Structure 1
């Protein structure tokens, strides 16, 4: 996949000690995605104009507006990637909650959610799915090493779904929440089951990040950075194994450690 089309060149003054040099640098493209649901504009999101079909599906499922890929009648992405039209069977209460209770999240892309109030009516995750510590640490090394847009720009977040058979599905975006929605949406488009999987994310493990795993029944979340207190509480309440500071040969397991073999 050619990711260079999402790059934009700018001229900067690079200062090293007291000497300035004018050079070209690259930045990432940022665009407004307009999501239309059953003919009506639902929301606009700032993002990289990439994987927009997956973004729409992942976002709508994360907000419980649609329950599954089978609810979608049609999905069309405009030629410029800035508009997605979805016709689907929807949960009107969840849609109205998104409009009424929307919260500006702590994500770098200014994410919006209607499911951040901590009152999710989702069954406690009791899956027996587990994973070896070595697998977690090996995969997080690959996760960061193979982040093309980050390596080119230093300006994106990444999410990766690690599935039971070792398959991985990844996505990158300027917003952590967008990256998760895109990765999950790509899984749904490919018919991949996420109930026995691990979600690897870049950046902190805030409550909104954990909530996305809760909504999609993903039992384990991993980052090499820290969780927030509410993130830990949310994971504990909903049966999610929350792992932070996964780097080198170490990791901190904050909740439900039984899914990590040997603990």
Structure 2
């Protein structure tokens, strides 16, 4: 792996976690950190779209990524401004094109994502038309290098738990690492970063600490990313949708182990798993808790 992250978590940021005091199983006083959680109401031009529960960082990326992944921003839409009011917990995305999604907003599905993930009714129409790159490759040496680098990166995930992380990667390099109380928010922040920086998706890989649910598969496919990896497990519908879209789906990626249930043809087995170290017990334990 070469090169630093382009954007990564700041676990020491004072607004993202809070120190609290309690007692442990023996009745002894303990100090611990807990992540923050606050509402953020998103407007697209003059229309209120949704109120999300979030840790509060990168509201501009979260807003744009959410709108993009919900098919509310077209590829040719021009964003004329993004305004965030921290006191009112409001973010407004303004576009040249007039927008009206009143009917669309009536048709929504609450997903299995934590912090009340939501997708709207016509997202599947876009999902069925996406064509993922068949040229993308994943070497197992890249996968092992990535999982080790990501799992040892300073983060709120390691500092306080109760949070999900998502990472945009290219070959053996993690590019952008985002965290939030809901995995869908972390995905949307990365989607927003890609939109605002005009980043191509055909040669990228997506990594998440959370479960490989239908929502995670849909969002990854809608972003045009051909490979999705998780340290956690799968849902049946997530696997079905991945196979339908031709998405490479890899779960239970911990240390030298992983399981691929879709898109196996993109994987190049270029490294003997016997030469790879297993991950430390501390990371394994935190990962099992954060995936719940």
Q: TM-score, normalised by structure 2?
A: 0.81
Q: Does 1:21 align with 2:28?
A: yes
Quote the Cα distance in structure 2 between the aligned partners of 1:187 and 1:170: 12
Distance 1:129 1:98, change over 3 A: same
Return the offset for 1:115. 5.3
Match of residue 112 from structure 1: 118
Match of residue 163 from structure 1: 170
Return the offset for 1:117. 7.2
Distance 1:6 1:54, change over 3 A: same
CA contact (8 A) 2:228 2:247 kept: yes
* Matched positions, count: 259
Quote the Cα distance in structure 2 between the aligned partners of 1:165 and 1:153: 27
Return the offset for 1:21. 1.0
Quote the Cα distance in structure 2 between the aligned partners of 1:100 and 1:150: 34
Return the offset for 1:163. 2.6
CA contact (8 A) 1:53 1:75 kept: yes
Match for 1:38 among 29, 45, 49? 45
**After TM superposition, what 4+ stretches of structure 1 lie above 6 angstroms from structure 2?**
none
Match for 2:148 among 141, 151, 157? 141
Match of residue 75 from structure 1: 82
3-state SS of 2:150 partner = helix
Superposed counterparts of 1:172-191, under 5 Å: 172-191=179-198
| 1:125-175 CA distance string (max 9 Å, x none) | 243111201111210122222151112211110000003583511100000
Superposed counterparts of 1:1-263, under 5 Å: 1=10, 2-15=12-25, 19-68=26-75, 70-80=77-87, 82-88=89-95, 95-96=101-102, 98-114=104-120, 118-119=124-125, 120-163=127-170, 166=173, 168-262=175-269
Return the offset for 1:24. 2.5
Quote the Cα distance in structure 2 between the aligned partners of 1:61 and 1:109: 19
Distance 1:73 1:226, change over 3 A: same
Structure 2, unmatched stretches of 5+, are 1-9, 271-292
Q: TM-score, normalised by structure 1?
A: 0.90
Structure scoring higher RCO (CA < 8 A, sep ≥ 6) equals 2
Structure 1, unmatched stretches of 5+, are none
Return the offset for 1:238. 0.9
Distance 1:124 1:225, change over 3 A: same
CA contact (8 A) 1:194 1:216 kept: yes
